[in-house]
Chains A and B, each alone.
Chain A
Amino acid sequence: MKLALAVILPLLASLVNLNSPGNYVNIGVISISVANLVVIILMVLVFVLAVMLPFPHKKEHGA
C-alpha cells in the first residue's frame, strides 16, 4: 500500500507541473504571476456568475 502510494501520488501530482519557472504579466508598475491572475479573474467571474445566474426555486410558504 505504502509502495503504491509512493508511486501513484507523485505520478498523479505531475499531471500538471506547476514547478516549472513562473510566468508573469507586466503592465506598468503591475507585475503579477499568471497563477495569481487566474485566481483573481476566476474570483471575479464566479462572483458575477453567482449574482447573475438564476437560482433554482423551491416550494415557498406564506409568512
Chain B
Amino acid sequence: MTTMQDRDREAIVAGLPEDRDMWTNKLRRKFYGKLPPEKLLPDRQPAYVSSWIYVFGVLTLAALAVVLLSGAILALKGPDWWHNSPEGHFVNSTHLWSVELFFFFMVIHLWGKFFMAAWRGKRTWTWITGMVAFLASIGTAFTGYVSQQNFDSQWISTQGKDGLNASGVGALFNVLNFGQMLMWHILLLPLIVGVIIVVHVLMVRLRGVVHPFPPKGAKTHPANDAPWTGRYRRYDILKEGTTALVVVFVLTLLFSIVFSSPDDKQVTLQQWAQNDPVDFVTTATGELSGSTISASYGYPYNNVPGSGQKLGPISLPSIFGVTIPVNPAKDFVLHPLATIAFNPSLGSALSTYNGASSTQQGKWLDNYTKALNKAQAVNGAVMVAPGNYGPLPVMMSALLKMADNGGLEAALVANHGFYGTDYTKPLLFLADGSYLGNIAQKDHLLGTQWGMMNETGNFPGQAWLWLYTFWYQVQPFASSGNADVLVWSIMILLSVIMILVPVIPGLRAIPEKVKVYRFIWKDYYHEEEKAKT
C-alpha cells in the first residue's frame, strides 16, 4: 500500500490513487483546486486595486464583527440588563452604533461595486450574495428594533405588523411576539446573514476583484473572467482586516461614549389607564362593540368577512387564515374581568352582559360610546352623563381599576401560564387606543411622518428604510386601503431587480455609461495612457 510519507502538498491534497472515489477525497480536491491557500489568504492584488473604495468591504466585515461581539455580550447578560444598568446601556450603545456603521459601510461598498459593474466575469453570484446579505441584514436589524423592549419597539412592532400581515408573512412572523423576535434576532437571522456573507467572501476570493473596463483604444486587455495579466502590488489581507477592526472598534466606542443610545421607557396599560382613562375606557368599549382596528382586522388574528388588504383580487393573508387567534372582546375585556374575584357587583354585571341578547348589548354599547365622547376623568374614574348603559359602567370601571393596578398587563401577557414572552394582545389593545399614537406623533414616528425610518429623540434611525417609507407618502398609496400590500409588493419587486442587476439589460450597462469607474481606476487609466505616449 502507498504511504503518505515524503509527499508534497499537492500530492497530499490529491490523496492516494485508491482513495480517489472517496467523498472526502473528492471534496478536498475540489475545494483545494478552487480555493488554494494563495487565494484564500492572498499577499498580492492586481495593481489597479488602488482606491479607497476597496476598503469598504473589509470595513463592513469589521463592523459585523463588532455587532456580533456587542450582541454576544448583551446575550450573556440577558434582555433586561441593558435597561437597568449603565454598563448594560453602554454595551447596548456599542451594539447600536456598530449596526449604524455596518450599514454605513455596506451601502458605500454596494455603491462602489455597482459603479465598477463588479458582476462582470462570472461574478454574478458575488453580486447576488452581496445584495441578499444586505436585505437579510435589514431584516435582522428590524427584529433588533422590535426586541428592544422600549417605547420604540412597541411602536415599530405595532406599525410594522400591518405590512407583514398584508403580505401574508405575518402569519408566521409575529413582530408583536417579543420571544419569537428575540430568537430570530439573536439566532436565526444572524445565522442566515453569517452563512450568506461567508459564501459572498468565498466568491470574492474565488473570482478575485473585477478587472477595470478596457482603456480607450486598448488592443490587449484580459477578458473579465481571465486572470489579470498586468502588474500586481503587495496586499496584506490580515493587516488590512486588523486595521479595519481597530478603526471600527474605535469609532463604535467613540460614538457610544459621546452619543449614548435611546431607550425611552415602554408604555404600559397601567400608565395608559392612569394618564388617559377616558381613552382607555373608550377603547375597551370599542373592543366589545367590535369597532376597533383589532376587532375588525381580519387575518391572521380573526376571520372578519371583507376585511384585510388585497393585491388586485388576491388576499395574501387568507392563504394562511387565522394563525394568531385574537378575539378582542373576550381577550381584552371579558376574560380579564372574569379573573377578578371578590367583586359581587362585577360578577352580577358580567352575568347581565353575557346573558343579554346581542341587540341589547349593542344598544348599551352604542349609548355608552356616545356618552364617552363627553366623558370626563375625575380622580382616575371615568364619569359620563346618566343613561341606559346596562352593566357597562361597572364592567369598565373594574377593567380600568385592574389596569390601574397593573393586573391587566399580567392577564394579557401571561394567560398561558407563569412565563410569558408574547405581547401580541397587550400591544394590539394598546395600539387600538389613541394614547400610544399621540406619544408617537410627538416623536415624529407616525407613518405619515416618515416614522418607520425615525428614532426617538435626535438619534439616527433606520435610514436604509427611506424608500420603503417614501411610498407611503405619495399617491395612490397614501390614501389606499391596500397601501401595505402594494408597498410591500413594490419593495419586493425592486429588491429582486437589485439582486438581478447583472442579468438585466440596460440596468447592467449603467455603470459603463456613467463612467464613475474612471475615478475608481484613475491610477490604472493614467498609467495606461502614459505608457501609450
Residues of A within 8 A of B (CB): 2, 5-6, 9-10, 12-16, 18-24, 29-36, 38-40, 42-43, 46-47, 49-55, 57-63
- Cβ–Cβ contact B52 & A61, under 8 A: no
- Cβ–Cβ contact B231 & A62, under 8 A: yes
By a CB distance below 8 angstroms, the chain B residues around A63 are 228-232
- Cβ–Cβ contact B458 & A33, under 8 A: yes
Shortest B340–chain A CB gap in Å is 39
Given contacts A22-B454, A50-B51, 10 further A-B contacts (CB under 8 A): A5-B86, A13-B93, A14-B260, A33-B460, A35-B459, A46-B108, A55-B51, A58-B234, A61-B44, A61-B231
Shortest B286–chain A CB gap in Å is 30
In order of increasing CB-CB distance, the 6 nearest A-B pairs are A13-B260, A50-B52, A35-B460, A18-B458, A9-B86, A36-B463
Q: Which of B2-10, B26-34, B442-450 contacts A (4 or more CB under 8 A)?
A: B442-450
Which single residue of chain B is at the shortest CB-CB distance from A51?
B519
Shortest B461–chain A CB gap in Å is 6
B83-96 interface bits toward A, Cβ cutoff 8 Å, 1 = contact, 0 = none: 00111011001000
By a CB distance below 8 angstroms, the chain A residues around B260 are 13-14, 18-19
Shortest A36–chain B CB gap in Å is 4
The A contact surface, by secondary structure, is: mixed
Q: A22-B444, A50-B108 are in contact. Are A61 and B233 (CB under 8 A)?
A: yes
- Cβ–Cβ contact A22 & B112, under 8 A: no
Q: A18-B262, A31-B449, A36-B463 are in contact. Are A60 and B47 (CB under 8 A)?
A: yes
- Cβ–Cβ contact B108 & A35, under 8 A: no
- Cβ–Cβ contact B258 & A33, under 8 A: no
Report the Cα distance A40→B107, complex, angstroms: 10
- Cβ–Cβ contact B50 & A21, under 8 A: no
Q: A31-B449, A46-B108 are in contact. Are A59 and B53 (CB under 8 A)?
A: no
B457-474 interface bits toward A, Cβ cutoff 8 Å, 1 = contact, 0 = none: 111110100100000011
Q: Is B100 an interface residue (CB 8 A)?
A: yes
By a CB distance below 8 angstroms, the chain B residues around A30 are 450, 473
- Cβ–Cβ contact A51 & B458, under 8 A: no
Residue picked from A12, A23, A42, most chain B C-beta under 10 Å? A12
Shortest B124–chain A CB gap in Å is 24
Q: B455 contacts which of A5, A33, A38, A54 (Cβ < 8 Å)?
A: A33
By a CB distance below 8 angstroms, the chain A residues around B52 are 49-51, 53, 55
A-B contact pairs, 13 of them (CB 8 A): A6-B86, A13-B93, A16-B259, A18-B458, A19-B262, A19-B456, A22-B454, A22-B455, A36-B454, A39-B104, A39-B463, A40-B463, A51-B519
- Cβ–Cβ contact B458 & A22, under 8 A: yes
Report the Cα distance A18→B262, complex, angstroms: 8
Q: A15 contacts which of B89, B258, B443, B457 (Cβ < 8 Å)?
A: B258
- Cβ–Cβ contact B458 & A10, under 8 A: no
By a CB distance below 8 angstroms, the chain A residues around B443 are 22
Shortest A35–chain B CB gap in Å is 4
- Cβ–Cβ contact B460 & A58, under 8 A: no
Report the Cα distance A23→B516, complex, angstroms: 34
Report the Cα distance A34→B49, complex, angstroms: 35
- Cβ–Cβ contact B234 & A43, under 8 A: no
- Cβ–Cβ contact A31 & B450, under 8 A: yes
Q: Is B331 an interface residue (CB 8 A)?
A: no
Report the Cα distance A61→B236, complex, angstroms: 15
- Cβ–Cβ contact A13 & B454, under 8 A: no
- Cβ–Cβ contact B461 & A36, under 8 A: yes
B191-235 interface bits toward A, Cβ cutoff 8 Å, 1 = contact, 0 = none: 000000000000000000000000000000000000011111110
- Cβ–Cβ contact A50 & B473, under 8 A: no
By a CB distance below 8 angstroms, the chain A residues around B89 are 9, 13
- Cβ–Cβ contact A39 & B458, under 8 A: no
Which single residue of chain A is at the shortest CB-CB distance from B231?
A60
Q: A24 contacts which of B85, B444, B520 (Cβ < 8 Å)?
A: B444
By a CB distance below 8 angstroms, the chain A residues around B320 are none
Report the Cα distance A8→B449, complex, angstroms: 36
